[in-house]
Structure 1
């Protein structure tokens, strides 16, 4: 009977359907890592965030006539890159969430002192939104009102300090929030009212504030897509090379294929950029997810290595070593998922 041709033949296993599956999974994984690598490289050339708010007058658009404090003013009440050993002039592209779990875009925070106007939080927030629309901002979400104060954690809607299922925070604070975009920036506005302290004492966090973060420029999307395509091609071609090198050598095929098959499904799922940034633009989830494929995970104890990258090394390094050290022999045993008895 005539042997199959096409993809299986090009991969060196004309009698095996499984090799096509494995090559496809390897291409997906390599594509994700290629996209992650190019994404991280591209972010190093993104325009700096420091100084943008004051230079563009965004603070005056949000809070006209009010004294606005930020990291540049030495305020201790706002998020500061100094918390990460950096200066206000160097905002990293990605930072840990305030609770230390998960990652989000790097950002700058600005706030004003509470006043009679800000205490009417919904009316004040509506006025801010309308001013931003007049200034050319595109509103990305309706005004939401929630209990508690959003602590800027993007892993859950409205932050971990606000009550949500499983979090029994009791508070009389109500906060209104929305986000908007303009010219490569994402602005998220918050305005809280209430005490949130015993005996009705004032809480310095109960005030109006906003954050500004960069969004991915168009050329970063192009770089990321290029990295993904190069990764897909490399993953497919390397799998084909390994398959052809180990064809006919049962022991080498087994050693090369076993770790790859054991890690195939969990690695493929882990490599996909599926990190949702709740209540934020969907594109942030893509790039935060890509960042998570190569950056350390200190919140889970991986201070210097990335567990997803480590799993990829465990899956494919044995195959690469075996293929490099194995001499190609005439077709014999095909333990690399050879599921076609007719090939024999």
Structure 2
């Protein structure tokens, strides 16, 4: 029964650096184990992981270093996954062109004359245009929420050719007949919104029971909105593996960098307190928006049907809070730069060898 127990202990001891005499630790654990056991207890496993990570991070006496390492690893992995997800969106099929959009709308809503149909300038836009350097100020200073997934569609103005409820019934019927998957309608005091999906395309149709003014202070009744319809692309399949692999890679890199900086700044390092302060600022600037945004987005998705979920970065309150992310990234880079400064010669501590 010793061999399985030894094998499982040895796996847990990989949490320790090689310099911590893993074989001696293993022998001690096996001697202390009660007869007949073939696996470590949960308490033993937790202790070995916790103390092993403390040793690997260069602070075996610290009670909090493992927690900070886990927090830095998780949030870095999440942000890396969001960036990778955005890269995965580059594989999305372009949005329908104007002629194709008109044909799709005519298929769903025959007899309706849609206006203001235009080609989308990009898959994601800010204030109606693609993201360019000129829009960085908008992105960073309060208007990052304007960066969103583009849509292509149109509106129907004027007096409805049929009652609103009849239009809704027609839309539902045409969705079923043309292969769309329709979701539950969202009803409020003035309108009803239908969402549907077919393949890699999503559709949003809003029927107003009380026509609303499109723009301008003195519009005519013929210029009020009765109906809107818009197409978007659903999340492309490549986004999911891209986010997973990107997140794992980002988490691994973050853990290794945290461990390196932790070992570099232990003891009487000249920038120890500055590094600690900057690291705390980074965690605050990155975690605070995330902890606020995730429950808000979860509630939003539970309250309303979504043929395709919002992009991952919006779950992190990005790019609305992109200034906080950039500031936190700056603090993190400054942490690493300060950690490269040499230690006092008498305080030099050899770096544990990696496994």
Could you tell me the TM-score, scaled by structure 2's length?
0.67
- Would the aligned equivalents of 2:109 and 2:170 in 1 still touch at CA under 8 Å? no
Structure 1 unaligned spans of 5+: 73-87, 148-174, 301-305, 334-344
Structure 2 unaligned spans of 5+: 1-24, 26-47, 129-142, 350-355
- Would the aligned equivalents of 1:95 and 1:105 in 2 still touch at CA under 8 Å? no
Match of 1:92 in 2: 123
More moved, 269-278 vs 177-186: 269-278
Match of 1:140 in 2: 183
Match of 2:78 in 1: 32
- Would the aligned equivalents of 2:159 and 2:221 in 1 still touch at CA under 8 Å? no
RMSD: 3.5
Q: CA deviation at 1:313?
A: 2.2
Which fold has the larger relative contact order, with Cα–Cα distance below 8 Å and residues 6 or more apart in sequence?
Answer: 1
Q: CA deviation at 1:226?
A: 1.5
Alignment partner of 1:46 out of 75, 87, 92: 92
Counterpart secondary structure, 1:7 = helix
Would you tell me which structure has more helix in proportion to its own residues? 2
Residues 37, 146 of structure 1: CA spacing in aligned structure 2 closer, same or farther, 3 A cutoff?
same
1:110 and 2:154 matched: yes
Specify the structure having the higher radius of gyration (Cα): 2
Q: CA deviation at 1:240?
A: 0.5
1:244 and 2:263 matched: yes
Match of 1:71 in 2: 117
Could you tell me the TM-score, scaled by structure 1's length?
0.69
Counterpart secondary structure, 1:102 = helix
Counterpart secondary structure, 2:340 = helix
Residues 264, 115 of structure 1: CA spacing in aligned structure 2 closer, same or farther, 3 A cutoff?
same
Q: CA deviation at 1:38?
A: 1.3
Alignment partner of 1:260 out of 279, 290, 294: 279
For residues 180 and 282 of structure 1, what CA distance do their matches in structure 2 show? 6
- Would the aligned equivalents of 2:202 and 2:307 in 1 still touch at CA under 8 Å? no
Q: CA deviation at 1:216?
A: 0.9
Match of 2:52 in 1: 6
- Would the aligned equivalents of 1:260 and 1:315 in 2 still touch at CA under 8 Å? yes
Q: Equivalences for 1:1-344 in 2 at 5 Å?
A: 5-51=51-97, 54=100, 57-72=103-118, 88=119, 90-96=121-127, 102-103=145-146, 104-118=148-162, 120-147=163-190, 175-194=191-210, 196=212, 201-202=220-221, 204-271=223-290, 274=294, 276=297, 279=304, 281=306, 283-289=308-314, 293=318, 295=319, 306-327=322-343
For residues 18 and 232 of structure 1, what CA distance do their matches in structure 2 show? 19
Q: How many residues align?
A: 279
